[in-house]
Structure 1
Amino acid sequence: MDSARRDRSIGFLCLVVTAFGWALNWPLMKLLLQQWPPLFARGLAGTLAAAILAALALGRGESMKVPRVAMPRLLFASFTNVFAWMGFGTMAMKYVTVGEGALIAYTMPIWAMLFAWPFLHVRPTLRDVAALALGITGVALLLAADGFAFTAGKLTGIALALACAVLFALGNVLNREAFPMPPLVLVAWQVGLGCLVMLVLGIALERPNYGAITPIGIACFAYMTLVPMGLCYLTWFETLRRLPPTSASTGMLLVPVIGVVSAAFILGEPLGLREVAAMVLTLGGVTLALQRV
């Protein structure tokens, strides 16, 4: 009993570390984007993080070899889980607030629930419909701050954040079978492949000014590389090892909440009754959707 309780305590501690690490990345990423363009910044950080993760895996005696049969699925997962999730999510931050981007991105369990109908033949229940209605209402309430008078840039940001959530959800539904690789090796390959493409596209298309970064930008970049894409993956694996999957997934709802609150302090973004109500509605819908997972 003591061992089980200790495992749960460590699991919850790892969950909190993961949630805070990933959440603080949203406002810090927004700060970094004032100095470096999104694909280049996220691609460079992710490529360096993948090298660190690969070194950790090798240090633990794990092979980095990818079974040939797993290569197509690995490439697909790199696109949905990294290029779409990290790349589109980062680009969205140029056009929307952290609160808007984070809440839209974290509607992914709702889209996964909808994708389960055509791909897994799991029909939506009344609870699933309620989850969808709550999620849409929450996001709509947040986006209605200016009476739905969207600029072209705002629409671009919303579309990118929505694509990030929908594609990540699609990847989760279609890639449910376990990979024949250790988790750390799998993440190193996914992050490395997805972010290397971002880096190449960023250099070619965004033409970054490498010298534009300030000490604050360097600190944000170092955080993005070492914490959310390094430390947090290790604590996330420990969370999954010690806690039930539903508890771990539901606990991740802390990420958009902490992200929105920290953005209010770090960036001065609005945090009033509208934002709180939108979070309650959206995350309430996501919680219902997660009960299916």
Structure 2
Amino acid sequence: MRTLANNAPRQSRINFYTAAVPLLTLLWGLNWPAVKIALGEIDPWTLRAIGLSSGGMILAGCALIRGDRLSVRRDHWLRLGVAGLLTIAAFNLLLGYAQLHAPTSRAVIVTFTMPVWTVLFARLFLGEHLDRSRIIALAVGLAGLLALGWPLVRDGQFSIGLVYALLAGICFALGTIVTKRFPVEAPPITIATWQLLVGAACAAVGMVAFEHAAMPSSISAATTLAILYHVLFSQALAHILWFSALARIPAGTAGLATLMIPAVGVYSSTLLLGEQPTVADYTGLVLLVTAAFLALRPSNREALHGGR
């Protein structure tokens, strides 16, 4: 009876964070139209400098409150910085330009090729086994890109924004490979904090170099709300929930649940931005989400070894 009583609070916390994962899907999915609205008045380097620095500082405060150390081994700073450049800086900045040059609904679909690229790069750079599920994931992912891109090329509607979105997904996947190949010995929230601050530093340099650190004299209420949502909910709250959930539930469970992010991004862009996805867009969405599901699903070998 005592064991059952002791396990009840732990199980309750697990259930809470499992239920929080769909909230993460909503928070990150709605961030796509929020960023698009903000980019209407704020330049991309400036917006990313604001969002990433604010998110990093809030995470740093949460880490200190939790009692997590913010220090990192001296010989791990390079690997942390490289991962931050790819996963945070390049990813977020490329997405900013993607949304400036392409409909948000299409950009989010192309960006979420990330799991597929991760599978391919893990094979090339880490020597990880490609089982049948992952081979099918690569084929379905390619079919999704063709289904989305070919009608646009045929009709002369293909834009550079989709190239930026594709590069963003590739950079995120490469950052994941760097993190796996060269792990950093620090709590996850500490790693996330410094990666966000690395991204913020890169964005600040670009802001000064390319945008002269210029902010508009006044911004609309919609842009103000979009920036507040981006900073408080997408950067701060979402990252806190994400790393808290990862500490209590299987990473595969959390990863598979986030596959709904592109769907939320597409439909929220339709509702909030008035975009009208085409049949090709929806076809690409279904194929790429299917490919990501196959890529993230544990392989038979991992299942036999308990996912270790």
Taking structure 2 as the reference length, what is the TM-score of the superposition?
Answer: 0.87
Query: Which residue does 1:180 correspond to in 2?
Result: 185
Cα distance in 2, alignment partners of residues 8 and 103 from structure 1? 30
Aligned partner of 1:206 among 187, 207, 211? 211
Cα distance in 1, alignment partners of residues 41 and 108 from structure 2? 21
Deviation at residue 276 of structure 1 after TM alignment: 2.8
Deviation at residue 75 of structure 1 after TM alignment: 0.7
* Paired amino acid for 1:268: G
Query: Which residue does 2:303 correspond to in 1?
Result: none
Aligned partner of 2:236 among 215, 230, 239? 230
Query: Which residue does 1:159 correspond to in 2?
Result: 163
Kept in 1: contact 2:97–2:164 (CA 8 A) = yes
Cα distance in 1, alignment partners of residues 106 and 81 from structure 2? 29
Classify the secondary structure of the residue corresponding to 1:172.
helix
Q: Name structure 2 gaps, 5 residues minimum.
A: 1-6, 300-308
Cα distance in 1, alignment partners of residues 22 and 63 from structure 2? 23
Moved over 6 A (4+): none
Bigger mean CA deviation after superposition, 282-291 or 57-66 = 57-66
Cα distance in 2, alignment partners of residues 48 and 91 from structure 1? 21
Deviations 1:152-207 (A, max 9, x none): xx542122111111111112122215422122222111101112211221232024
Cα distance in 1, alignment partners of residues 192 and 60 from structure 2? 9
Query: Which residue does 2:173 correspond to in 1?
Result: 169
* Paired amino acid for 1:171: G
What is the aligned-residue identity percentage?
A: 26
* Paired amino acid for 2:209: A
Deviation at residue 273 of structure 1 after TM alignment: 4.1
Query: Which residue does 1:131 correspond to in 2?
Result: 137
Aligned partner of 1:49 among 37, 52, 55? 55
Deviation at residue 13 of structure 1 after TM alignment: 1.8
Query: Which residue does 1:16 correspond to in 2?
Result: 22
Deviations 1:116-157 (A, max 9, x none): 122111243343232122112223323345454446xx5421
Query: Which residue does 2:197 correspond to in 1?
Result: 192
Kept in 1: contact 2:59–2:240 (CA 8 A) = no
Cα distance in 1, alignment partners of residues 170 and 49 from structure 2? 21
Cα distance in 1, alignment partners of residues 101 and 255 from structure 2? 28
Cα distance in 2, alignment partners of residues 120 and 64 from structure 1? 29
Kept in 1: contact 2:57–2:193 (CA 8 A) = yes
Cα distance change of structure 1 residues 159 and 170 upon mapping to structure 2, 3 Å threshold: same
Query: Which residue does 1:119 correspond to in 2?
Result: 125
Cα distance change of structure 1 residues 115 and 292 upon mapping to structure 2, 3 Å threshold: farther
Query: Which residue does 2:113 correspond to in 1?
Result: 107
Cα distance in 1, alignment partners of residues 68 and 106 from structure 2? 39
* Paired amino acid for 1:111: W
Cα distance change of structure 1 residues 109 and 292 upon mapping to structure 2, 3 Å threshold: farther
Structure of higher CA gyration radius: 2
Kept in 1: contact 2:84–2:175 (CA 8 A) = no
* Paired amino acid for 1:128: R
- Alignment of 1:97 with 2:103, yes or no, is yes
Query: Which residue does 1:252 correspond to in 2?
Result: 258
